[in-house]
Amino acid sequence: QVQVVESGGGVVQPEMSLRLSCTASGFTFSSHSMHWVRQAPGKGLEWVALIWPDGTKKYYADSVKGRFTISRDNPNNTLYLQMNTLRAEDTAVYYCARDLGYSSGHSFDSWGQGTLVTVSS
């Protein structure tokens, strides 16, 4: 079955870096755009970043532009989020999600369980 599993979260000091991974299985990873979405404690969902199936196009929320980089390794079915210069306001559960594509309105049908990133000194 379709599955995505995030990893790499943890506690990190402000200004430091962290890389999240998302391993996909049960579908043709290289055929789907992928997204990162985050949720701060007790808050709503915030879209973070998008990468096209072939990795040629990437888009970011203004709140992370210039600090975060989304990438993917299609042969190994893995999505990444490199997070640099972390701030306290980046503290959140980070989810990766599969994009169903144009015919399904670019909706997100498969989500991981999330990985918690805590930025604190």
Task: Name the one range near other proteins by CB under 8 A: 7-15, 41-49, 70-78, 79-87.
Answer: 41-49
Q: Considering only residues 12 through 31, tell me which ones interact with other proteins, judged by CB under 8 A.
A: none
Q: Considering only residues 71 through 110, tell me which ones interact with other proteins, judged by CB under 8 A.
A: 95, 100, 104-109
Min. distance of Cβ 107 from other proteins in angstroms? Answer: 4
**How many residues touch other proteins (CB under 8 A)?**
23
Cβ neighbours around 64 below 10 Å, total: 21
- Please give the Cα distance from 79 to 30 (Å, whole number): 10
Give one DSSP letter per residue of 22-66, joined into a string: EEEESS-GGGS-EEEEEE-TTS-EEEEEEE-TTS--EEE-TTTTT
C-alpha of 96 from chain center = 4
Nearest to other proteins of 75, 105 (CB atom): 105
- 1, 41, 56, 62: which one binds other proteins (CB under 8 A): 62
C-alpha distance across the termini of the chain, in Å: 40
Footprint of other proteins (CB under 8 A): 35, 37, 44-47, 50, 59-62, 95, 100, 104-109, 111-114
